[in-house]
Each structure stands twice: as C-alpha cells, then as structure tokens.
Amino acid sequence: MKKKTELSIETTEMARVLKALGHPVRLYIIQKLSKMNACCYSGDLVDEIPVGRSTLSQHLKELKFAGLIQGEVEPPYIKYCLNKGNWEEARKMFNELFTENEQL
C-alpha cells in the first residue's frame, strides 16, 4: 500500500506530551511533582536547577501549555501542581504504548 496516511491525532498528541517531557529541566520538575505528589514554586526550583529564572519560567510555561501542570496564583507566589487529569491521561497512553497487542 502506497497510502502515505497522515499520522493519527492520537500519535501526534502523545508525541507532544513526550516532547514536553523530553528536556532534563522539565522532566525534573514533573518527577518532583509526581513522585512527591506535591506542588512547588518557581523560586524553589530555581535553587535546585542549574538554569536562570527566565529560562525556568519558559520551561514552566511549556509544561503548562502541554497540559501537564497548572499554576495557581498565590501572591506573591505562583504554586505549580500537576494537572492530575491530564497526568492520568498520559499514564494511560504510556501504559498502552508498552502493552503489546495485535491491532494498530
């Protein structure tokens, strides 16, 4: 078959999530939020991660855009937490990726 199908929305969407996770700084943040089941502040992170404030802010923005985290304004801080719903979605996608089955 010489179909040249478009790649499915599901694959494209999952790749987007994987891409968002595919940077050490962003993965570190997600690991922290996931493992500790906690939230954190940009100011905490900047002391732990070897990157400047504005750069960190960019990464947070990307994670937010990918739907993996959400920010709650708590002046003068912003509290970042996992987006639980989307995180659960991601977990399911990953599970499926690692589960063999006959159809595609």
Partner DNA sequence: ATATCATTTCGTTATTTTGCGAAATAAAGA
Partner DNA sequence: TCTTTATTTCGCAAAATAACGAAATGATAT
CB of 12 to a second copy, least distance (A): 5
Q: Does 75 bind a second copy (CB under 8 A)?
A: no
CB of 52 to DNA, least distance (A): 3
Please state, in angstroms and rounded to a whole number, the distance separating the CA atoms of residues 27 and 66.
13
Q: Which residue has the tokens 């900047």?
A: 46
Q: Does 28 bind DNA (CB under 7 A)?
A: no
* Binding-site member from 34, 57, 70, 86 for DNA (CB under 7 A): 57
Angle, in degrees to the nearest 10, between helices 53-65 and 9-21: 160
Pick the closer one to a second copy by CB: 22 or 74: 22
Q: Does 11 bind a second copy (CB under 8 A)?
A: yes
Which residues ranging from 17 to 56 are in contact with a second copy (CB under 8 A)?
A: 18-28, 30-32, 34-37, 47-50
Q: Does 98 bind a second copy (CB under 8 A)?
A: yes
Question: Contact, 64 vs 71, CB < 8 A?
Answer: yes
Question: Contact, 59 vs 29, CB < 8 A?
Answer: yes
Q: Does 71 bind DNA (CB under 7 A)?
A: yes
Please state, in angstroms and rounded to a whole number, the distance separating the CA atoms of residues 82 and 61.
13
